[in-house]
Structure 1
Amino acid sequence: MSIPIELIELVEKYEGFRAQAYQDITGIWTCGYGFTGPDITADTSMTLIEARTELSSRLELIWSAITQKAHSTLSQNELIALSDFAYNLGLNALFTSHLWALLQLSEKQAASEQFPLWCHAGGKQVQGLLIRRLAEQKIFMTE
């Protein structure tokens, strides 16, 4: 499977690359392009090439999961926006969201209005997340 370069560039833009692990705003160890999980610890480091390879693998899994679970065919831009959303927040967050429920009812406009609501971390609104959600919303609504 080949995911669009636009998706990779979108994630790279908003995640940024960090070769050394750091704790994100909520204290979660993070490395590369926002990678988290049990394998990411304070000692984790990676090269740009390793991070890009891992990013492509993760995005392919997300893209595939979304296309398989959708009740209707999604446009490339819808998939890009939803994949970036799921990359940042997790597939579970997407699939259990009101955004997803509305989309499955073919309520695209109402679904798009949900993006900006997902801009909190650690119980606080984060400007960077709001900017990212608005970018996803714009892509989602672009024909």
Structure 2
Amino acid sequence: MALRSSWSIWLILAGLVSLGGFFLALVNPEMLGWDPLCFAIASALCQVLAIPARLVLQKSITGLAEFRRNQVGAVRRRTVGAIAGSGIALSTAITFIGQWEGLRTEAYRDVVGIWTVCYGETKGVRPGDRYSKAECDAMLAREIASYEAQLDRCLKHPVPVGMKIALVSWTYNVGAGAACSSTLVRKANAGDLAGACNELPRWNRGGGRVIKGLSNRRGAERVMCHQALKEAA
């Protein structure tokens, strides 16, 4: 009886977590009167907690053995990395990358005439589009997860989370193709993580000339990279 009661409590909590994530997906921070960053962190935590919640709910319906056989929607290491799999790391990445990308909540034409919004998003953007900061943060979170997954296909050596955030910021800026064919990734895969961090300042050019903004960004990424190695040691 005690075990059954305990299981029921877990089932109720799992249902509340699932409903919480669904609710946060339907509202924005302005509606709740929340700070946008707090709202983004809460949304990320609900997404993370939804994984064990699904396990609990699935157990109550079909049994754990059947759930293990059913691989639909399973979380795999190849598709969910250190950043995307952690609400705290994802929130840190959004803040770090977002400050360099710049936020504009109303659609605008970039320097080459492409309609852009939020943190440089161009997919499906049309004139007159407007988004809240929380919606822009959610867009950036999806892009971060995508770029992390692309980087993970070539970055085979494990790295600390802080270093991973710095490298995903760099990859987001230069492109996954350039990142994966770089000396930086080759050094990291060889175990020379400090040497990989030191490669970042070399990526500070645009159109064949040094760009101050890129130099500043690469410098900040290098600092984060080395700090993560220091903390891991």
Give the structure-1-normalised TM-score: 0.84
Residue 106 of structure 1 deviates from its aligned partner by 1.3
* 1:96 aligned to which of 170, 178, 181: 181
**Structure 1 stretch displaced more, 63-72 or 85-94:** 63-72
**Shift in CA distance, 28/72, structure 1 to aligned 2, threshold 3 Å:** farther
- Between the aligned partners of 1:28 and 1:84, the Cα distance in structure 2 is 24
Aligned counterparts, 1:117-132, within 5 A: 117-132=202-217
Aligned partner of residue 150 in structure 2, secondary structure: helix
Residue 34 of structure 1 pairs with residue 120 of structure 2: yes
Structure 2 unaligned regions, length at least 5: 1-84
Aligned partner of residue 120 in structure 2, secondary structure: coil
Count residues with an aligned counterpart: 139
**Structure 1 stretch displaced more, 89-98 or 131-140:** 89-98
Partner of 1:46: 130
Residue 13 of structure 1 pairs with residue 99 of structure 2: yes
Aligned partner of residue 20 in structure 1, secondary structure: strand
Residue 44 of structure 1 deviates from its aligned partner by 6.3
Contact 2:187–2:195 (CA under 8 A) maintained in structure 1: yes
Aligned partner of residue 117 in structure 2, secondary structure: strand
Residue 6 of structure 1 deviates from its aligned partner by 1.4
Give the structure-2-normalised TM-score: 0.54
Contact 1:81–1:139 (CA under 8 A) maintained in structure 2: yes
* 2:147 aligned to which of 62, 66, 89: 62
Contact 1:21–1:40 (CA under 8 A) maintained in structure 2: no
Aligned partner of residue 77 in structure 1, secondary structure: helix
User: Which one has the bigger helix percentage?
Assistant: 2
- Between the aligned partners of 2:148 and 2:182, the Cα distance in structure 1 is 17
- Between the aligned partners of 2:166 and 2:113, the Cα distance in structure 1 is 24
- CA RMSD in angstroms comes to 2.0
**Shift in CA distance, 28/91, structure 1 to aligned 2, threshold 3 Å:** farther
Partner of 2:6: none
- Between the aligned partners of 2:165 and 2:144, the Cα distance in structure 1 is 10
Partner of 1:23: 110
Contact 1:31–1:44 (CA under 8 A) maintained in structure 2: no
Which deviations, in whole Å up to 9, do the C-alpha atoms of 1:21-70 show, x marking residues without a partner? 2314xx36332102245x346x2633133321111111112223334532
- Between the aligned partners of 2:213 and 2:128, the Cα distance in structure 1 is 25
Of structures 1 and 2, the one scoring higher in RCO (CA 8 A, sep 6+) is: 1
**Shift in CA distance, 31/128, structure 1 to aligned 2, threshold 3 Å:** same
Partner of 2:63: none
Aligned partner of residue 70 in structure 1, secondary structure: coil
Contact 2:157–2:190 (CA under 8 A) maintained in structure 1: no
